[in-house]
Structure 1
Amino acid sequence: MTPSTPEDTLAKLQSLITSQEITILKLSEPISAAITQLQDPHQRTSDISASSLDATTPSSLEADLTHYRELFSKLRFSYVEQVTKEKFIRAIVGDPPLIVTPQENVDLEKENLQAKATLKALKTEVTSVVTELGEKAVDLSRKYERVQIEIVKLEELPSKIKELENAVAELKETRVLGSNPNPELNLPLAKTLDLIELKKRRRTELDRQLEQLQSQVPRKKKELDRLHAELQPVETKRQNSMSAAKEARRRKEAALGGIEDDLEERGRWFRASETGLKQILELQG
């Protein structure tokens, strides 16, 4: 089975949404058509109902509901009034006239009470069903909004998938060509994560050592200043000794008048100079 591309999946999703889109107006179309077929062409209809059948909108549906409730209340009152009048006239003009006993009135009152109780229970049930339907409608509306948001995200996915595929292809090409001189950048994911963890541990250790060395800097600086202070007199003494040695050599050469120096005197002078320099170097160490 050939896997479908993101573009094909998106096209199927859009066609599915278009074919199965359900709205309140579409749900009301079969009812409106049935009412139109059942109506007598010569029968007068109200302006609200006629307009609602022509152009159904959520506001017109609410207006129709209010209108039909009021109309039903008036119709029920007229029906009860008409039936009562008809029964009363028939009872009067009947032969023999209809005579109702008190017991029949009591029985009828009981029947009326039972009918009222049944009607009240039915009304309560209908109210409960209507409330439940309203809650389900709100819940479905929220779900529909979430689905619409997810559809927008799904529409953006093909372009993002295409970008990621291009990036993966470039990375694979780079790895195959070996243009990257650093072999650590060509490691698989698991080894890369291990290497990152190792680098983090090394960096933590280096940070710790650096912190220790930084804490030792003030003490080392004080010690360096002390050594410089101790070395200063020794350096001065060395300079004086070198100056004296140079002066003595100059005088001796002047006394000899440029003739070859006496080897014994030069030897003693060199040994004395060597001893002095060794003492100075020992003090510096």
Structure 2
Amino acid sequence: MTLAVIVAALLLVTAVSAKEPTPVVMWHGMGDSCCLPFSMGAIKEELEKQVAGVYVRSLEIGSSVIQDTLNGFFMPIDAQVEEACQKIAADESLQGGYNAMGFSQGGQFLRAVAQRCPSPPMKNLITFGGQHQGVFGLPHCLGTKGVCEVVKKLLDYGAYESFVQSHLVQAQYWHDPLKQQQYVEVSQFLADINNERDVKNETYKENLNKLENLVLVMFSNDTMVVPRESSHFGFYALGQDQVVVPLQQTPIYTEDYLGLKQLDADGKLTMLETEGDHLQFSIDWLVENIVNVYLK
């Protein structure tokens, strides 16, 4: 081996070892905000501790923490996703690509970012207790008493009423298996992002399949997501609300109009399950199963 080859090899090793870690973008769930020290702030701090030099961007929708929290209830999801796309595109630290972590409803919101805004590229998408097939029930509302009363009254009024669809985030991923056709026609967000309209958006499938990994985390004792299998893209068999079928038995998989079957065939779809209620996981579990596997 010549001296020139040895030098070149050493330079390559140095370049690889000096490579900065892939940045991380996070999106919080209902009733939370970007930067609370005991939620997203704590996770951001842990990621920075575990992955030396990593840049972490916790998305704030709006211009303040208060706006960010309220927008999680009342700002149309499409507008939130568009704002997120703009902020990600304008962030110089993310231009080479990023990993994404979505918590609760932030999971399906970040999936919408992957499907609609492929530049800069999202590499790994990890969702925790997401509602990918929607919810048919909201047993708990994570927010102030006043906000939760408004949410409950609007859902009781009718999730598919045009006023409610336009003004309540949770109605936009409400999925009534007893009213499937109405859901497909009226849902302002979920039916579109799941490509369930008669006319399919091929770019959604193409962009989702650009992911290196789609990791879906379900909480085995989740009392927030109804049904909890929605976190794995499972849902009620249509026409009833008792029997839940897994992703592989749903049209979204068998007809593969979203690309999940292809992701699965390519070994890029991973379903994890952990004990606990909604978003209840230990830091040790997060580090062992997520950080060490997908973020380092």
The structure carrying a bigger helix percent of its residues is: 1
Q: TM-score, normalised by structure 1?
A: 0.24
RCO higher in structure (CA 8 A, sep ≥6)? 2
The structure carrying a bigger strand percent of its residues is: 2
The structure with the larger Rg is 1
